[in-house]
Structure 1
Amino acid sequence: MSVRPASVGSYLRAAAPDRLPEVVADHLRTWFPVKAVELLLSDLTLSALWPVMEPEAPAGGPLEQRCFGSQQPVTDNGSRRLLLPLTTWGDRLGVLRLDLTDTLTSELAAEITNIADELALALRAADKDTDRYRQVVRRQRLTMAAELQWDLLPGRSLSGERFRLAGQLDPAYAMFGDHYDWALTDDRLTLTVLNGHGDGIEAALLTTIAVNAMRNARRSGAGIVEQAELASDAIYSRSGGAAHVATLLLEVDLAGGTIEAVDAGSPRALIAREGGITAVSLEQQLPLGMFGDSRYETQKVQLEPGDRLLVVSDGVHAATPGGRAPYGETGLLTALRRTRLQPPSEAVGTVIRALREYHDGDDQEDDAVIVCLDWLHGKA
């Protein structure tokens, strides 16, 4: 008599990176009361979930979207359909949809949830070695600038015991240099929002240089001052001061809530606290790359448990479509108030959708970044 394997992980590690959905589907149909399996991945705009195994099938419907948005299992059809979120370290990838031949039990749900978790981890690792999953989530061709910037992103959300974090970039398929980066080590979260000067491929190249210079310094143990100075030197050596990268660098102490900040340009920070939203007042320093041997200083900001920190690029706060007033002076606070009960992964999408509505059919003249951080430490 065959014995069910304790884990699907060994099969996933042995599989070709582009065959992970089929490996999981075969495993589920062999060992569980499962008759049909589909993997759905979120597109770049986080607005739809698209099937991987039957790519010609329609996008996921309301149940799939509810599972993705809530990050909770969803059942339907008399508990004969199960939808499970696919998430790694808080980064939402998609949904695993199963049709069962038997009624779902709590024990069965727990076992299949473990399999979904292993699949999510394997998908994230495999993404470096196959284009299959990226071809699904791209609904049109990216510009070369967008290709550079999507490859540069750390992810779209991240979470831990002390925090929840998410970022979104828009428009997804054509970009002009706005970007974000983050890294977590111990209780230190480094967060950067930046905007390369100009547009198209030149702006993306400047952003690429800045991000990689800051990563190089950070991975060598440098703080955000040295990160800023190394990136500024690298940009200046390329452009001689003719181009720059406006940047806000933040290092968050997740244990105590203290933020060290280097404000080198146009990204703006706000804090939502107990129903109110206030701008973070920082002394602005020169954008990276304007002069050789630029030097930077840090400023401090203190978070309180339960605070939400929001950082927006100038493509958000300074947007003036059709000659309207800057979005940061009118619609931004209204949009942010709508996000009060949403997790960061949903809040960033709410703000981006409101920004699109503000454009009222006009093309965006600049790309837009919003990053949302909830600091949970000490919150009951």
Structure 2
Amino acid sequence: MTAAPRPDRSESFGEALLGTVLDRAHELPPHLIGPLVADVVRRLGGRSVQILLQDYGQLLLVPLPGEGLEGGAPQVIDEAAAGHCFLDAVTVELPLDDGVRLHLPLLDGGDQVGVMAVTLDRVDDDDRRMLRRLSNLVADLLVTKHGYSDLFFHTRRGKAMSVAAEIQWSLLPPLAMIMPRVAVAGVLEPAYDVAGDSFDYALNGDVLHLAMIDAMGHGLGAATMATVAIGAYRHARRLGTGLKEIYAFMDEAVAGQFGADHFVTAQMMRLDTTTGHLQWVNAGHPAPLLVRGQRVTQRMVGPTTLPVGLGGAEPEVSELGLERGDRILCFTDGLIEEHAAGEEQFGEEQLIDWVNRLETSGRGVRAVARALSHTLKRARGGQTTDDATLLLVEWRG
């Protein structure tokens, strides 16, 4: 019997190119990402490499400094070609006098890490394929190296950040997660001084778990309380308990640490991503909004219990069957209660009006959540005397 021929195991150009990154990734210091990426792009025939990261205010794309990387001024997301790439997670090609400028999304689990920009004399499908795969590796590098360097934090920070905000940002999961069955996107304002607001989520098998909280007060005290609440939520969730038990665990943790006169409003959800079956518990939080057919169709009003920390009764679990494409908007009261001195509050009706306008754009949850937060901030005259946080969830079916 004739033996089957051995497959060709010789290293191709593409494997050698991407292998350069893979071989060095595990021991690469964060500040040497730039030289490595620039070298790989040069071997592909490219030049003028930029790695652009989103600032914490979600307004700008800021060039990552580093040897081999091109600098330049921050780019306004809503105005630049790189911003289009960033918001819609698509490659954008911009013709130049001396070639083509490519902007490639740096994606990690659907979250946009940033944008990689490269100039080539000309572009073909092989270039596009290689650069797309390289950008995927660069995104992974940025995420893994972020855990032990302040380089990326300094790049993204546009101004001084309060201690409370530092704590809150360190608590957060990625601001967005885009998966085949479900998508999540969140925004925190004011980005550099947020204190008591936070959110968390986890996709465990077919179940998406979410929580949004708003700790009473401002500053470091509110941030500390939010830390305890989120830590208690994660602990109870990871034990595999139900929503009622999660509420009880959070309530006991906040009360035990801060006393009976402190509290955290909260909303916890579980979504079966195979069926669209949604369950939630509301502990003193504004009712979420259901967006169906690109319009807000209902306020998800249900039984509520006291905020965690006040020893409320066992909560009732509300339930709803979602339809494919439905979106759920969760938000803290700071989004609708803001007002100028002597004027009326911004109000939920204005929030609903803007949701309806933005939903007609047909854009993904990340772009809509960001646009909604910035639009509401402008409509309030730029005022954010209280934290204003939103979380948009889409069941994709």
TM-score range, shorter chain: over 0.9
SS in 1 for 2:194: coil
What amino acid is the match of 2:58? L
Moved more, 186-195 or 71-80: 71-80
What amino acid is the match of 1:26? D
TM-score, normalised relative to structure 2: 0.89
- Selected match of 2:369 from 313, 323, 348: 348
Per the alignment, do residues 225 and 347 of structure 1 end up closer, same or farther by CA in structure 2, a change over 3 Å counting?
A: same
Aligned residue runs from structure 1 range 84-163, under 5 A: 84-100=104-120, 102-163=121-182
State the 1:268 CA deviation.
Answer: 2.7
- Selected match of 2:31 from 15, 18, 22: 18
2:230 aligned with 1:211: yes
> How large is the Cα RMSD of the aligned pairs?
1.9
Deviations 1:119-174 (A, max 9, x none): 10121111111110110000111101101000000011001111121000011000
Aligned partners of 2:291 and 2:328 also within 8 Å = yes
State the 1:320 CA deviation.
Answer: 2.9
Per the alignment, do residues 19 and 220 of structure 1 end up closer, same or farther by CA in structure 2, a change over 3 Å counting?
A: farther
- Tell me the distance in 2 between the aligned counterparts of 1:326 and 1:259: 31
SS in 1 for 2:26: helix
- Tell me the distance in 2 between the aligned counterparts of 1:306 and 1:360: 32
- Per the alignment, residue 59 of structure 1 pairs with 74
- Tell me the distance in 1 between the aligned counterparts of 2:92 and 2:36: 23
- Tell me the distance in 2 between the aligned counterparts of 1:317 and 1:66: 29
- Tell me the distance in 1 between the aligned counterparts of 2:367 and 2:248: 34
- Tell me the distance in 2 between the aligned counterparts of 1:46 and 1:364: 16
- Per the alignment, residue 92 of structure 2 pairs with 74
Aligned residue runs from structure 1 range 162-201, under 5 A: 162-201=181-220
- Tell me the distance in 2 between the aligned counterparts of 1:88 and 1:214: 24
State the 1:3 CA deviation.
Answer: 6.0
- Per the alignment, residue 311 of structure 1 pairs with 330
Which segments of 5 or more consecutive residues in structure 2 lack a partner in the other structure? Answer: 1-10
Question: Percent same amino acid at aligned positions?
Answer: 27
Aligned partners of 1:268 and 1:313 also within 8 Å = no
State the 1:117 CA deviation.
Answer: 0.4
State the 1:331 CA deviation.
Answer: 1.7
- Tell me the distance in 2 between the aligned counterparts of 1:150 and 1:262: 25
State the 1:347 CA deviation.
Answer: 0.9
- Tell me the distance in 2 between the aligned counterparts of 1:74 and 1:147: 33
SS in 1 for 2:288: strand
State the 1:197 CA deviation.
Answer: 0.8
- Per the alignment, residue 247 of structure 1 pairs with 266
State the 1:356 CA deviation.
Answer: 1.3
Aligned partners of 1:177 and 1:207 also within 8 Å = yes
For the pair shown, which has the larger CA radius of gyration, 1 or 2?
A: 2
State the 1:297 CA deviation.
Answer: 3.1
- Tell me the distance in 2 between the aligned counterparts of 1:238 and 1:113: 49
Deviations 1:91-141 (A, max 9, x none): 1111101111x3100111111110100110121111111110110000111
Aligned partners of 1:335 and 1:350 also within 8 Å = no
